[in-house]
Amino acid sequence: MEHSFVLLAGDARLRALLHLLEEKGISALHLTACRSPAALEAAVAIAKTLVLPVPMSRDGVHLCSSGEECILLEDVLGALRPGQEVFGGAISADQKAKIEARGAKAVDFLRDAPFVLKNAAFTAQGALRLLLEHLNVPLQGLPVLVTGYGRVGKAAGTLLRSVGCRVSVAARSEVQRTEAALSGCAAITLDAMPAILPRTAAILNTAPAPLFDAGTLRRCQKDALYLELASAPFGAQETEVRAAGLHYVFGGGLPGRFCAAGCADAMLQVMKGKCPLLSPMCET
């Protein structure tokens, strides 16, 4: 049976997207695993459009999955046919070139500005959920440090201030520090960061750069929460965070864990603007 859409691997976001497509009467199939390259090739061959995870791959070898990561990216790309559309997140230049070499078209969700803003907001909401889950104290007046002030840092700072946290932002960029100060946060340089760590109950790192070494972490409150929201190489090493007596929580994939339905709708909006098959079917 030919399907308009085949969704591969992923997490609750793709399950929610499948539900949205089926609600609109669109033929779709979601494969979370595949027994063999031949079976995967057959599944890819029946699709007009493929939807891959966000991010597409963490290790460059497998598609991201909420379960065992068993679908090889190379097998997927090798099975593409001319004219197909491939949606995914964080598609590298090399992966994009391989998709286009097969005559297919690559569309990266994370290059769509409205999607990126929504995804940052979903990440911030997930971070708030984790704070509530791991800190048995009121949020009102809670001293929180946000490191990095890109889209996720801004969304997290705004949301945490709205629930009463006392938010400090440490950022390299003077422009970002000015933005943070104008939003009502206390803005500091990275060099000034160690001085406030003894008074900080939670750290939310959004910067994909090593900001915390073992010595810096030892300045933190014992049992403070360190929440890693960045991608590799991360703000600190988990072993060093734990060795310093902090509570380490990895916040990868928060939109899929806590805001799957909203993410799926945001993905659908991107697809409506790019996929001729989908646009007329989603008008209602």
Q: What is the mean pLDDT of residues 149-161?
A: 98
* Greater pLDDT, 70 or 184: 184
Q: Which pLDDT band holds residue 284 (cuts at 50, 70, 90)?
A: very low
Residue 68, pLDDT score = 74
Residue 279, pLDDT score = 61
C-alpha distances in angstroms, 140 versus 32, 118, 126, 164?
41, 25, 18, 4
Q: Which pLDDT band holds residue 273 (cuts at 50, 70, 90)?
A: confident
For the beta sheet containing 202-205, the strands, ordered from the edge strand earlier in sequence to the opposite edge, are: 186-188, 166-170, 143-147, 202-205, 225-228, 247-250
Structural domains in the chain?
A: 3-111+259-282 (3.40.50.720), 119-252 (3.40.50.720)
Instruction: For residue range 225-267, list pLDDT tens digits in order.
Output: 999 999 999 999 999 999 999 999 999 999 999 999 999 999 9
Give me the chain's average pLDDT, please.
Answer: 94
pLDDT at 283 over 60: no
> Dihedral sign, CA of 51, 149, 145, 218?
positive
Residue 158, pLDDT score = 97
Q: Which pLDDT band holds residue 66 (cuts at 50, 70, 90)?
A: confident
Residue 2, pLDDT score = 60
Q: How far apart are CA 10 and CA 55, in angstroms?
A: 9
* Greater pLDDT, 67 or 205: 205
Q: What is the mean pLDDT of residues 156-184?
A: 98
Q: What is the mean pLDDT of residues 101-120?
A: 97
Instruction: Supply the pTM of this predicted model.
Output: 0.92
Q: How many residues does the chain have?
A: 284
Residue 64, pLDDT score = 94
Residue 281, pLDDT score = 52
pLDDT at 100 over 60: yes
Q: What is the mean pLDDT of residues 52-60?
A: 94
Instruction: For residue range 17-48, list pLDDT tens digits in order.
Output: 999 999 988 989 999 987 788 889 999 988 99
Residue 85, pLDDT score = 95
